[in-house]
Structure 1
Amino acid sequence: MSNKYLTLELSLDKQGEITNKPTSSSSNNAILNFGDVIYIYEGPKEVYIGQTKHFYTRHQEHFDHDLSFIVGAYKRVIVLFGKLVNQLSLDDIEKQLITYITIDIEKGKKSIEIDNATAGNNSPEYDYQSDVQSDLLVPFWQELYEKGFVQNKDLSEVKKSLLFKYSPFHQLSKEQLRVIKTIICSDQLSEENFLIDGLAGTGKTVVLTNLAARLAQLYPEKKIAVIVKSNWTKAGKSIFDAYGLKNIQVTTALKFIRDKKSVDYALIDEAHRLRRYYSKGNHVTQDIFKDKKGNYDPEKNELELVSKNAKRLVLFYDSSQSIRPSDIPENVFQAFLRDHNFKKLDLKQEYRISIHEDRNHQFTGNDYLNGVRSFLQLDTRPFNKALFSSYKTNPDAYFGVADSISDLFDYLNQMENYQNNTIDRVLAGYTRPWLSKKNKTTFDWTEGNRHWKWNSTNEGWITKITSRNEIGSVHAIQGVDLNYAGVIVSTDLRLINGKLVASIDDYKDTNGKFKKDDYDPDKFTSFIKDIYYVLLSRAMNGIRVYFEDPKLREYFENWIND
């Protein structure tokens, strides 16, 4: 056991009496008199986590007043204390244990209860935070496993879960915390709305889950809608359900509009993908854009319709990820913001991409994303171009170029041999018709004697077991983090006279094309570039790219060496 913390495991009878109080006066004094402690109650069906300064007093309060304790749900409790458990670290340790244990029991038969409304607290940084992780949490988790308090032996495996990545108890950066505090501390009597503006990887979804949880606990009487794309509804519901946040509704914009139920807060992820009336496409959603006479109203859009049933709006937005002509145009979006008293808050620091130090260079996630945007001719921002060529001498490089689609799948297989339980997928531009949608025996992609299908669904695709052997489009992956990715840059992006131009003949997403009388080649090219920006910005730990067009690969090689 680590000498930087101590534990006591106490057994309970049906009345909650501790049957094995420690005989050591030091242990009793640590809990009774001066001890900051974390405690975890465990029973056949429930787990309860909390913190206190006076454990025995708090224990008696639980059994006098809390229903789950009175009915004898808990059979034992483990108490954590010691020199690393104090006022500086207490919130941090508790929040991490809440997240880990929630993930551990997610698929089990137990439920979890949390003391102290910890989702509303933020634990500031402190000098020995790394020691708490390595010298307390890791060995303490091993002890919990050996004593049967948790099911998963390896804490690193727990951290690979989607629930960990988007946990509403996630430690926030100063920038992310500033955004949340600004919204929570704003005058509740005002009608101020908020736009959270950030590029890919700046943690918009993590901020959303944290904000929703804090609002839910601060205002349990208020109704909160978390509005997401259909590919994220299942994950979103599992996150908030796992943490017992009851006054949060996870839904899509379309369902929210059709339900016509008023809420106090509507938090909208991927707000750049909200739709407008557009006669081509949107066949499922057309009815919401009709006026009272049953005629389509070209001025209607999902943002306006959501706002009618939400007292306050918080939008999470990146204009670089608008990918269809049915998305609300930028000028219409900005006009809505001006007319509805929105305050803009920025997220600038990239967090998704984790690039380990190269043999000769140290790269950052911002280097990678800025480089992607430069290659796609979206804009020019400073970056270290060596990041995109280091794979030629470093097989472990974050970025690399593959020679085939098969090589992309082989790359993911290789990385999974090194790291189990990672979330890895192959993604592509929409240059093959989705034939397998109607004929399950048909394959959409073929290369030699190997073949693959498109993503079998958009909603919840990332959590489906079969998705690892499918190829995902942007509609299945937007807003999702992967560990490793293979990306097919397909023939819908061409090089013409030194410029990247979209090829409408190669693009097979019917709803992604303009109407014939509304076709704008420059805007269409922007959509295709934005799609690849999304696909190329999903991977946290590594990515390999295959260029279907040899001329585009040649352009990339020249761009590296320029």
Structure 2
Amino acid sequence: MTDPHLVEVNRYPFSKKALADIRDNAYAGTNWPLVYILSDGGSKQAYIGETTDTLTRLSTHLKHDEKQLLTTVHLISSERFNKSATLDIESGLIKYMAADGAFSLLNGNLGLVDHNYYQKDELYARVFRVAWDKLRAEGVARHSLESIDNSDVFKYSPYKSLSRDQRQSLLGLLYALLDERVENLVVEGGAGTGKSVLAIFLFKLLNAKEIELNLRSFSDEEKELEGLLEKLREIYPQPKMALVVPMTSFRNTLKKAFRNVSGLKADMVISPSELVKQNYDIVLVDESHRLRKRTNLGAYFGAFDKACAALGLDKHVCSELDWVCKQSAKAIFFYDENQSIKPSDANATDFARLKAASSTQVQTLSSQFRVRAGQPFVKFVDDLLNVRLQTGKRFRSGHYEFKLFDSIEEMVRAVREKNDQFGLSRMIAGYAWPWISKTKTSEYDIEIDGVQLRWNRTNTDWINASGADSEVGCIHTTQGYDLNYTGIIFGNEIRYDKASDTIIIDKENYFDRNGKQGIQDPQALKQYILNIYKTIMLRGIRGTFVYACDESLREYLKQHIPVQTHPAQDAESPASIVKLVPHVNAVPFYDLEVAAGDFGDLQDQPDYEKEWIAVPEHVRVSKTLFACRVIGESMNRIIPNGATCLFRMALGGTRNGKIVLVECTEDAGPGSRYTVKDYESVKIQHEDGWHHKMIRLNPRSNDETFEPLELTEDQALQYRVVGEFVQVLD
């Protein structure tokens, strides 16, 4: 059970006058370590910090040009806090609030800690969850931690703790950006080594409006890094920068992530062809192994030729790699030769020539951050696909699920169960089946032992698309993404020959036309296909499941992969307001008798027009806001029984991970008309549009006997979301 008294969250106005009240806080007034959040509901900006001298720190912030415009301070305190704990909680809040999206953070992205300390997992992880729930009750945070964990905005946020490997690379990159002799940098690293994280971190760092030099995690590197940043800001006070991402789907995902970060904009993430529009000071290229040359481009031939002409380059010999070099004063390429997957990818020899140039510096990332099994798993997969393992050598890990399935039906079921449990679990296959459903949407593409499956219905952000858990993705829709679990289907284009003890490729069963057209060397095609399988086998953070269509390949894999066997204290009320002005300092109070525990009696429609309730001064009032009372204990980690809460009318958009007010539009038998729960939705696409596969309404209670309410597609028709929770009022 969660103890709501583990941590306190207290709200005060952020002003000189309010410092006297803050001095009376038992923790703030005695120099106890605590964490604080400065925010403003109007501008939707916030700043997060930690201190052992609260009054001095807040007084300093009140003199700051930007921070003095913030209007509210929340103090997060606990008798269990120490310096290590507050540093950790501060970093956690920066990471999660940046992805939550309720506020745009003024914090820089340096100095976020990720260190071990006494009782970090046993106690302080729980403290953080309690604090987060209380911040949701205050309206400072909106989404559940679980939903943020699986969001792309969180995964690709620049607010990350860098590893030693990445910090050393960051220093090297900053030195190179200051070196007039260096024009290009190549950062090499395999799948999951943190190339994208480092690219986004550096991009944010160089575009920060104000660098918060909070460099605790850099220890001895602190002064060195600070000096480099100061020099860079002298040279590039407002650098013209772009992040080039060759793959459309991943590019759109990063655009979405950039929209939620202060100082960054979606149009900073561009395609290679957009480089022709202007010259840049600094260009970063993520997944640069997917830059293209003039081979098997299909509909892209015209755009490629047009860009070459605009840049004055010979279309027959240049590649998008040349475009980047021509249009940037400094270029940084994040590169992995082993993730080149088709003939249109720029030649490895072009990158080799670039790396050999005197104006290029090369750095290497080696630590594994994606798969929990670490670098040993990466090496094992490489040896497995290249048939370099000793007979009987298996990979086993207590931290990672790696299983081979004899039944495709069982693997599909296992992946879907993992998706229900953890989210972001997907099936991925080699391109061994034509994409029939692209034009004939009612037909299936893949049939194995009576199990029928369809390829991904969309190429854009398929990982997060509704219904993706019932489809099969390919390399083009998954490269660059993180998943919790993957179910890998080895198709009939890849086989095992026992006599020669080698992997062989059946070109006739490989249906990526642009992936094989023009390839004369069978070994070249084999290398592309092996790169595909290696890449998709390194997508899963928690585990990888495998099924092979070819029986001989399945028997080979059985030698090395384990086979799946069958079966709180209430916040003080705001000061009373004498005169209530509708939609100015007051919102309508609807007497719905909302049930947050068991359903109450069905309520009659109340008179909405006569009763109004005051809201705190920091709340930006609009006609979409209303209040009602929540009865019950099933949300008591966030909403106390009997609390009056502020809601915003449901106007559409995603509700996943949000607390919602749900109305039952029909008499569902025993129960009531309204309930408040955390909303989770799984959808699936049919020919006539999107439909709910299931809605799960989750309790957030200290009483673990409360269970989620799961609604089938038919049952869901009886329910509608009428409001989204904003905060507890009293």
Q: Secondary structure at the match of 1:308?
A: helix
Q: 2:367 is matched with which residue?
A: 349
Alignment correspondent of 1:226: 243
Picking from 387, 405, 413, the partner of 1:402 is: 405
User: Post-superposition shift, 1:42?
Assistant: 5.0
Partners of 2:333 and 2:34 in 1: CA distance:
39
Q: 1:339 Cα deviation (Å)?
A: 2.7
Post-superposition shift, 1:95?
A: 3.0
CA distance, structure 1, for counterparts of residue 310 and residue 46 of structure 2: 52
Letter of the aligned partner of 1:99 in structure 2? K
The DSSP-based 3-state class of the residue aligned with 2:178 is: coil
Matches within 5 A, 1:378-389: 385-387=393-395
What code does the residue aligned with 1:149 have? V
1:504-527 alpha-carbon deviations (Å, 9 max, x no partner): 111111111131xx5111111101
1:523 aligned residue: 524
The aligned runs of 1:94-173 (5 Å cut-off) are 94-104=90-100, 106=101, 110-115=102-107, 117=108, 119-123=109-113, 125=115, 127-128=117-118, 130=120, 133-134=124-125, 136-152=127-143, 154-173=144-163
Aligned with residue 36 of structure 2, among 35, 38, 49 = 38
- Alignment partners' CA distance in 2, 1:85 and 1:182: 36
| Contact 1:48-1:114 within 8 A present in 2 as well | yes
Select 1:338's aligned residue among 356, 359, 364. Answer: 356
Q: Does 1:501 align with 2:497?
A: no
* CA distance 1:244–1:544, change in 2 (3 Å): same
Match of 1:8 in 2: 10
Alignment of 1:518-557 (within 5 A): 519-557=520-558
Q: Sort the Cα spacing of 1:178 and 1:19 in 2 relative to 1 into closer, same or farther, 3 A.
A: closer
Does residue 174 (structure 1) correspond to residue 170 (structure 2)? The answer is no
1:256-405 correspondence to structure 2 within 5 Å: 256-258=274-276, 260-278=277-295, 281=298, 282-283=300-301, 285-288=303-306, 290-291=308-309, 297-339=315-357, 341-354=359-372, 364-377=373-386, 385-387=393-395, 398-405=401-408
In structure 2, the partner of 1:431 is: 432
By how many angstroms is 1:120 displaced?
3.0
- Give the whole-Å Cα distance in 2 for the aligned partners of 1:539 and 1:22: 47
Structure 1 residues 530 and 67: CA distance shift in structure 2, 3 A = closer
Is 1:206 aligned with 2:197? yes
- Picking from 47, 50, 53, the partner of 1:49 is 47
In structure 2, distance between residues paired with 1:124 and 1:292: 47
Preserved contact between residue 231 and residue 476 of structure 1 (Cα < 8 Å) = yes
Is the contact made by 2:402 and 2:561 (CA closer than 8 Å) also made in structure 1? Answer: no
Cα distance in 1 for residues equivalent to 2:313 and 2:321:
19
Q: Unaligned stretches of 5+ in structure 2?
A: 212-232, 563-730
Asked if structure 1 preserves the Cα contact closer than 8 Å seen for 2:385 and 2:530, the reply is yes
Conserved in 2, the CA contact under 8 Å of 1:96 and 1:169? no
Change in 2 beyond 3 A, CA 1:293/1:130: closer
Instruction: Specify which structure has the higher proportion of helix.
Output: 1
Tell me, in whole angstroms, the C-alpha distance in 2 between the residues paired with 1:47 and 1:423.
30
Q: CA contact under 8 A between 2:8 and 2:78: conserved in structure 1?
A: yes
CA contact (8 A) 2:50 2:90 kept: no
In structure 1, what residue type is equivalent to 2:158?
P
Deviation at 1:269, TM superposition (A): 1.2
Alpha-carbon separation, structure 2, partners of 1:368 and 1:205 = 20
Does the Cα contact within 8 Å between 1:489 and 1:548 map onto a contact in 2?
yes
Structure 1: distance between partners of 2:57 and 2:156 = 31
TM-score normalised to structure 2 length: 0.65
Identity of aligned residues (%): 25
**Is contact 1:222-1:264 (8 Å) kept?**
yes
482-491 or 1-10, which moves further after superposition? 1-10
CA contact (8 A) 2:430 2:489 kept: yes
**Pair 1:267–1:479, CA change in 2 (3 A):** same
After TM superposition, the structure 1 stretch with the greater mean CA deviation from structure 2, 37-46 or 433-442, is 37-46
The alignment partner of 1:524 has SS state of: helix
Once the two structures are TM-superposed, the CA of residue 248 in structure 1 deviates from its matched residue by 7.3
CA distance in 2, matches of 1:280, 1:163: 31
Larger Rg: 2
Cα offsets for 1:311-353 (capped at 9, x unmatched) = 1111111111111111122122211222362222111121211
* TM-score where L is the length of structure 1: 0.83
- Once the two structures are TM-superposed, the CA of residue 280 in structure 1 deviates from its matched residue by 6.1
Q: Which amino acid aligns with 1:113?
A: L
Deviation per CA, 1:88-116: give whole Å up to 9, x if none: 66654333212212322x3xxx442324x
Please say if residues 475 and 532 of structure 2, whose CA atoms lie closer than 8 Å, have aligned partners that are also in contact.
yes
Asked whether the equivalents of residues 184 and 215 of structure 1 are also in contact (C-alpha less than 8 Å), the reply is no
Q: 1:173–1:463: structure 2 CA closer, same or farther, 3 Å change rule?
A: same
**Residues 209/429 of structure 1: CA separation in 2 closer, same or farther (3 Å cut):** same
C-alpha separation between the residues in 2 aligned to 1:6 and 1:440?
54
Asked if 1:461 corresponds to 2:478, the answer is no
RMSD: 3.4
Q: Secondary structure at the match of 2:21?
A: coil
SS at 1:246 equivalent: coil
Return the offset for 1:19.
Answer: 9.4
**In structure 1, distance between residues paired with 2:79 and 2:316:** 64
Distance 1:433 1:191, change over 3 A: farther
Secondary structure of the 1:151 match is: coil
Match of 1:24 in 2: 24
Counterpart-to-counterpart distance in 1, 2:402 and 2:193: 19
Contact between 1:351 and 1:365, CA under 8 Å: does it hold in 2? yes
Kept after mapping to 1: 8 A contact 2:403/2:561: no
Task: Determine the C-alpha separation between the residues in 1 that align with 2:137 and 2:282.
Answer: 43
Q: Which residue of 2 aligns with 1:441?
A: 442
Q: Secondary structure of the equivalent of 1:328?
A: coil
- Conserved? CA contact 2:99–2:157, under 8 Å: no
Q: Which deviates more, 217-226 or 544-553?
A: 217-226
What SS class does the counterpart of residue 386 from structure 1 fall into? coil
